[in-house]
Structure 1
C-alpha cells in the first residue's frame, strides 16, 4: 500500500471483518501525500481503519478523532494524529478514524462515511472492557467535514445505514459526547446564512450528503452533550452553523457550550498562531472535559 508517510504512526486496525458495506469501486487505491502547509492528505480509502494513540496514564475516557478534508481527502495529521497526541496528554485514549470518502465511487456513496463512524463507535464500545475503557465515556471529535460527520454520528446514531455484519453491530452507535470544530451543521443550499463553500458543491453526492444529514435539524433529547468551537471570521464555513446547532441542542435540553473566537479562520486545528484568539480553544476544551468528568480535575 503506497502510504509510507503513515508508517511512523502506531499500527492501524481495520474496523470491518471483511469488505465494508457500501460497494467498493474496484479501481480504488489508497494514497498518502504531503500537501502545501505541511499537511498529510489521505485519499482512496477502501479499508477503513482506526489508529490507536494510547496515553501513558489512561483514565478510561476515549475519543474517536475524525479528520476533515471536505469529504474529498482526510487531513490525517493536522486534524487527526496531532489532536490524538494532544488528547493523550490528559489521559484520553484516542483513535483516529480513516473513513471512506463519499465522492470516490462507492455504491452507497453519501452513506459510507457514516457507516464507518458508526462501526468505529460500536467496535470501541464492544471492546471497551478489554481496552480498559469506560463504555459510557466514548466521544467523537471532528474538524470541518469531520465535525459534520461527528455531529451526524450524534444525531443519526439510531439510523440503520448498513446491514449488521456481526455481534459488534448489536452495540450502540451513540457517542457519549461530541467535540465539534468549525463544521457545516446546517445543510447546504436551503440556508441563507451558509457560507460560499456550502452554497454549491460540484459533486452531486456531496450535495445529497449535506441535504440528508443536517445535524441542526436532527437534534433530539437523546443527542449527546456537545462543545462547539468556531472562529468568527471563518469565510469557508460560517460560524452561524455552530450557532444554529447550539440553539437546537439548547432547545432540546441537551447540555451544550458554544465558543466563537474573534479570529482564526478555518482549519487551524492545533496550529493556530498565538496571535489568534482561536488558539485558546484547546484550553476551553480541556475545561469542558473536566467539568463533564471526562478527565481528571487536576
Structure 2
C-alpha cells in the first residue's frame, strides 16, 4: 500500500491531465483551507445543461468540510450539491477502460477523497479513465426523491459513452464502482439502469446507462430492518417508508436478467453496514445467473477505502479488483 501510494502521488499530474473545461469546479474546502496533500483534478463535466431536473425553488448551498488534521492526506465531504458533476482523472496513456466512481456518505453527504479521488488516482495510474461522481442527495428537495441519485448515475454513464471518443474510452468497457451508500447507488444502477427516472434532455440520453461491470464495495443494499443502514434508509426512503417503498429501493429485490457481472467486497466486522447487505445482493445475482465474484474479509470495518485498509486483512483488495477487471473485459 505504501508503494502504491507513492506511485499514485507521483502520477497525480497524469491522473489530472487534460485542460480544465468551462464547467462547475470540483468541491473545494471553504477558506481558510488547509493545503492539499495532492492537487485536486481540474477537469469536470456538469451532468445537466442548465439546472438539474426537478430542482427545488431554492437550490441547496454546496458546502465542503475537511475532516483530516493530518497534512499527509485530505478527507473531505460535500453536501448541498446543486450542480451534480463528475471530476475527471485522465491517465497519461488511456487504455480504453473507464470507471464511474460513486463515493459514499450515507446519502447525508458525498465523500471526496477517501472513496473518490484516492481510487481515481490509482486507476488512472493503470491507464483507466476515472470519473468521480458528485451526485445530488435525495432528501434535499429534489422532485425525484429517492430516484435523484440514480438519475445522476444514469446520466453520468450516458455522458461517459457519449463523450467516449474525446477521452480515448471504449464505450463498451465502462465499469461502475461505489462505496457504502455510493455502493447502494452503484447497485441501484446495475439493477435499475433501464428504469426511466428522468426525461431525456439531449442526444447523450440515447446512450445506454447499463454499466458493463459493477463493483459495489461494502455497499448499503437493503432498505429493510434489521439489515438496512439506518442513516441511508432515513435519507433515501424516509423513516416511515412502506414495505413497497423499501423493496423498490433495495437492489437485491430488483435484479434483472441482464444485470452486468459484479465484484462484491465486504468486511465481516463492518459495524455500520452489516455484511448481510452484500450477501443479499450476491444471492439475488446468483439466482439470476449473474456472475458475482465475492470477497469477504474477517477485519476491515467500514469505510476503509484504500488508505484505511492498511494493516488489515482487506489491505490488498485493489490487487483483486484489477485482475477481475481484466476477466470481465474492462481491461484489455
TM-score, L = length of structure 1: 0.91
> In the alignment, does 2:65 pair up with 1:30?
no
Residue of structure 1 equivalent to 2:250:
214
Q: Higher mean Cα deviation, 287-296 or 137-146?
A: 287-296
Residue of structure 2 equivalent to 1:42:
78
Residue of structure 2 equivalent to 1:164:
200
Q: Is the 8 A contact 1:2 1:32 kept in 2?
A: no
Q: Secondary structure at the match of 1:295?
A: coil
Q: How many Å apart are 1:292 and its aligned residue?
A: 2.1
Q: Secondary structure at the match of 2:99?
A: strand
1:84-103 paired onto structure 2 within 5 Å: 84-103=120-139
Q: Secondary structure at the match of 1:259?
A: strand
CA distance in 1, matches of 2:221, 2:172: 25
> In the alignment, does 2:22 pair up with 1:4?
no
> In the alignment, does 2:301 pair up with 1:265?
yes
CA distance in 1, matches of 2:304, 2:292: 22
Gaps of 5+ in 2: 1-24, 30-35
Q: Deviations over 1:134-158 (max 9, x none)?
A: 1111111100000000110010011
* Compared CA separation, residues 70 and 231, structure 1 to 2 (3 A): same
Residue of structure 2 equivalent to 1:18:
50
TM-score, L = length of structure 2: 0.82
Residue of structure 1 equivalent to 2:22:
none
RMSD (Å) for aligned C-alpha atoms: 2.2
Residue of structure 1 equivalent to 2:316:
280
Q: Secondary structure at the match of 1:50?
A: strand
Q: Is the 8 A contact 1:216 1:244 kept in 2?
A: yes
Q: Is the 8 A contact 1:32 1:43 kept in 2?
A: yes
* Compared CA separation, residues 277 and 116, structure 1 to 2 (3 A): same
Residue of structure 2 equivalent to 1:240:
276
Q: Is the 8 A contact 1:79 1:143 kept in 2?
A: yes
Q: Secondary structure at the match of 2:147?
A: helix
> In the alignment, does 2:260 pair up with 1:227?
no
Gaps of 5+ in 1: none
CA distance in 2, matches of 1:16, 1:110: 18
* Matched residue count: 292
Q: How many Å apart are 1:102 and its aligned residue?
A: 0.8
